[in-house]
A and B are shown apart, each in its own frame.
Chain A
Amino acid sequence: MANELRIRVNDRQHTVSAAPDTPLLYVLTNELTLRGPRFGCGLAQCGSCSVLIDGEERRSCVTPVSAVEGRQVTTLEGLPDWYAEQHKLARSPALHPIQQALLDEQALQCGYCANGMIIKAAELLAQNAAPTDAEIRTAMNGHLCRCGTYPRIIAAIKRAARAIQGTGA
């Protein structure tokens, strides 16, 4: 049965009505009408639905909504604010540096994987300011792209790392 649940998404508190076992993904897409996290497999195999939960990349398609009560959920939409808070910037940038780098590299084709790629790369860059090629490949390995954009995504992550270091942020 549906319960009233309070969840915190992108720094805002929301009260949603959902069965506690409902995967977070369906609440984010249907109740909060967010377009970042999206359905890809429902099996935690592809990474389309990734969000940050307390700063760690998690698959919202297999995370029960009840499990995120009292925790911070950040989606693609909230990533620039998350980045600004993390780096103590006075103002949020329009895009997280990895988003800008994906544009600069013209990395995407259909773009459906972009949500998971951006979320995972943001997590990586928060933990490792200058990842090597091998570290990038290992960190990103749980995220699939069917269009074959991996080489450009790797280039974009390196570009974003340089940009973050360059700003001293």
Chain B
Amino acid sequence: MSASPLAALGRRAFLKSGGALVVGFGLGARPDLAAAQNRARGAAAGPPDPKQIDTWLAIHADNTATLYIGFVELGQGTTTALPQIAAEELDLSLEQIRTVQTDTNVTPNQGGTYSSASIARGGPQVRTAAAEARQALLKLASERLGVPAAELHVASGIVTVAGTRRSVTYGELIGDQLFEIPFTGNAPVKAPADYRIVGVPAPRKDLPAKVSGSFTYVQHQRLPGMLHGRVVRPRGQRAYGVGAKVQNVDETSIRDIAGVRVLRKGDFLGVVAPNEWDAVRAAAQLNVVWDETPSLPAFDALYAHMRSAATQDTIVLDNGAAVDAFGKAAHQTTFATHCPYQAHATFAPNCALADVKPGSALVMCSSQDIYGTRRVLAPLLGLAESDIRVQFCDGSGTYGHSCYDDVAQAAALLSQLAGAPVRVQLMRWDEHGWDPYGPAHVGEVRAAADAAGKIVAYEYHGWHHHWSLIETSQQLALGSAPDEWNNLVSQQVSPANCGAMYAIENKRLVDHRLTTANYLRGGWLRSPLDLSMSFTSEQAIDDLAFRLDMDPYEFRQRNIADERWLGVLDAAARAAGWTPRPGRTARGEGNVVRGRGIGLGTHLSSWGGAVADVEVNRATGRVAVKHLYGAMDAGLVVNPGIVEAQITGQLVQTASRMLLEEVTFNERGVTSLDWASYPVMRFTDCPEVTPIVVQRLTERHFGAGEEVMAAAAAAIANAFFDATGVRMREFPFTPRRVLAALA
């Protein structure tokens, strides 16, 4: 390796520009250091400097490129779509670009892979970095070929002098050397009209290995000399504030299993063994007496408990004079709902490996945010953050903050206690039982319209608790107080979702925050709180249309001023072949009735519209979602194929959450611990789906990983009303609940 070729250019630029800028100058003057730095990528604790192009990109001698991104692959296509953006700006083919797994020693810190941020936030970063790298490469090519950059043309990383056959490749220009230039963000980017790769479906890069069986999930990772670990906990969490208290451990209960060690720190308890089955058996067989003092509200008393508990109240939005406006309106509706705790229920329970030594630690896990995971591991292990390396390894889809941090901490604690590398695989009941659930929600909405069908007033009140900041392993090991995440918009009554799609002059949103310590652990679950809020809000809007004897689609159209909301509403209605109908139009014979509903919603950004067709059996209480149409406008969509897949998944998961999913518990703990006690959507009940991408080539990117779920939840609820004439005030729509509502 030699000095950066750009450094020479940089030196001249430095002189020309009178001494401003050009960070690469210093490094370029020391070729030994530049070469060593590139070889040593990963040798030191990150994050690498985001203001350097080398942090984001490397061009290799074989004319391929590596893109270093801080977002992780969760099955949502990030490792395909971000390379599409880089390939577009660099004029490389998609096949020429690869990514590496995120790693706190290697990849930049772009924040966590949540809030559907990979493309919305990461897209512009990757685009401008790639454009700046291209600009630098063209500068080198211009020197090499002796023509101005404006006369150069690039395709597949081959730079050609226009009208000639003279060319040089990116690989020949800089192959495997550092750029050593600052990332200013000032390089011009392509105009959307020139896109060849962005905006076009491309197959996912990770799928061939996933179908062949050669793909390495975290569950397949092994470390030399490692032990297999399992956590030992009560089956099902108690209230977040009380954790789990060990009263007695009888190690003689597992003396027939050779080679097993019981490890303990505070109330954190686990077993390790060289053989995995021995660890599994020992964790199940170990006789532990736990404190079983009741700590939770009774299941049937949850919502009354939430509604009567002390709250911290925030007026999220107060436009106009909502309270006064209700008195003057021609039509008014009030509507209150109960919305359950729901689990991430990752398809594979989380798994992590750790090798903790005095002064250093390596942790491999499926974290959405490896730098965040590193930050919380440091105090737990008594190490500095810079002593810890966290590497992401793909797990199954997580849909938010499942037990990935918890298992990373469990593996690290057991490794530290055992003095050996440890792999911890959570069992099914650990993952279901100790999940930071999507919090339960009580919603109360009031909405009013004038005689002409204009919504004139809207008020939403929501009760729920926030997300748990302390992971279970830490809480048990250190006895940490049950702290909460603060000031995150996704934990509150959402101004982006509650009535946001309608032009309403008088609007008031009030958030009533409960203390998590009295309830179950909370965490962000895909489209946090949105299904609950749209279930409440959009049923009230529908009810206004019904009271006005207006078609619910037309009523919404009339009250929307924003073309993006109109766009998804119309797209969903058009795909479904919506037929205008005032009032209710239940169809069907005998006990089986069918209905159709429409709804709108989002998470923080993007626009979602949905239509649902449902069938309700009035005798059995069974509800079937027959077809879901979901339209999403996420601005410029990089890979419409991937977003169609995302919409499909969101529609099916929403049907699952509305019909089937609820965390159950009694005063002593959670009782939904597996797929039998926490059922989810299966093949036979899965609706037909029609995903619709509303492409906006000239708009900025917004998220696409969760934004049509709220709309679909509302559409299902409104379709139920259309079928039965009854509004559901609680979900999921289990036969017991449906029969009670219809009685």
Contact = CB atoms under 8 A, between A and B. Distances in A.
Given A42-B280, A95-B211, A106 B203 contact: yes
Interface stretch (A52-60, A113-121, A161-169): A113-121
Given A42-B427, A111-B215, A149-B648, 20 more contacts: A29-B219, A33-B222, A35-B213, A35-B214, A38-B217, A40-B347, A40-B428, A103-B207, A106-B642, A108-B211, A109-B75, A109-B649, A110-B397, A114-B211, A147-B75, A147-B649, A148-B648, A148-B652, A149-B645, A150-B686
A99 B347 contact: no
A18 B656 CA distance: 40
B725 interface: no
A46 interface: yes
7 contacts: A35-B214, A38-B219, A48-B347, A103-B203, A141-B684, A148-B652, A150-B682
Nearest to B201: A106
B641 A106 contact: yes
Contact of A141 (B399, B425, B682): B682
Interface stretch (B238-246, B334-342, B672-680): B672-680
B653 interface: yes
Contacts of B206: 111
Contact of B212 (A95, A150, A154): A95
Contacts of A127: none
B140 interface: no
B710 to A, nearest CB: 16
B674 A36 contact: no
B551 interface: no
Given A146-B346, A152-B645, A108 B213 contact: no
Contacts of A40: 347-349, 428
Interface string A85-108: 000000000110001101100101
A23 B275 CA distance: 12
Contacts of A94: 212
Nearest to B428: A41
Nearest to B396: A112
Contacts of B208: 103
A109 B276 CA distance: 28
Interface in A37-86: 38-43, 45-46, 48, 75-77
B216 interface: yes
B681 interface: yes
A39 B348 contact: yes
Interface residues of A, number: 55
A26 B683 contact: no
A97 B141 CA distance: 46
B177 interface: no
Contact of A102 (B211, B215, B652, B689): B211
Nearest to B228: A30
A95 B726 CA distance: 51
B372 to A, nearest CB: 20
User: B interface, by DSSP: helix, strand, loop or mixed?
Assistant: loop
A57 B686 CA distance: 22
B277 A22 contact: yes
A48 B211 contact: no
A48 B348 contact: yes
A144 B396 CA distance: 12
Contacts of B689: 151
Contacts of A111: 75, 206-207, 210-211, 215
Contacts of B166: none
A95 B211 CA distance: 8
B345 interface: yes
Nearest to A37: B213
A159 B207 CA distance: 17
Contacts, number: 163
Nearest to B345: A146
Contacts of B642: 106
A148 B213 contact: no
Contacts of B650: 148
A76 B207 contact: no
A99 B277 CA distance: 31
A137 interface: yes
Given A41-B428, A147-B75, A147-B397, A106 B207 contact: yes
A19 interface: yes
Contacts of B16: none
B648 A110 contact: no
A150 B689 CA distance: 10
A26 B427 contact: no
Contacts of B349: 39-41
Given A26-B276, A137-B686, A152 B648 contact: yes
B355 interface: no
A19 B277 contact: yes
B212 A99 contact: yes
Given A146-B345, A146-B396, A35 B683 contact: no
B688 to A, nearest CB: 7
Interface in A125-156: 136-138, 140-141, 143-152, 154
Contacts of A23: 277
B92 to A, nearest CB: 22
A143 B689 CA distance: 19
Contacts of B222: 33
A110 B81 CA distance: 15
A22 B275 CA distance: 10
Contacts of A151: 648, 652, 686, 688-689
A106 to B, nearest CB: 6
A59 B38 CA distance: 47
B76 interface: yes
Contacts of A39: 219, 348-349, 425
A113 B204 CA distance: 17
B394 interface: yes
A40 B425 CA distance: 10
A101 to B, nearest CB: 9
B74 interface: yes
Contacts of A140: 683
Contact of B682 (A38, A48, A144, A154): A144
Contacts of B213: 34-36, 75-77, 115
B365 to A, nearest CB: 15
B530 to A, nearest CB: 16
B75 A108 contact: yes
B736 interface: no
A138 B684 contact: yes
B675 A45 contact: yes
Interface string B647-683: 0111111001000000000000000001110001111
B334 to A, nearest CB: 34
Interface string B683-695: 1101011000000
Count chain B CB atoms within 10 A of each CB in A29, A34, A146 and give the residue with the most: A146
A63 to B, nearest CB: 13
B220 interface: yes
B666 to A, nearest CB: 21
Contacts of B676: 43, 45
Contacts of A103: 203, 207-208, 211
A5 B242 CA distance: 47
Among B394, B656, B675, the one with the most A-chain Cβ atoms within 10 Å of its Cβ is B675
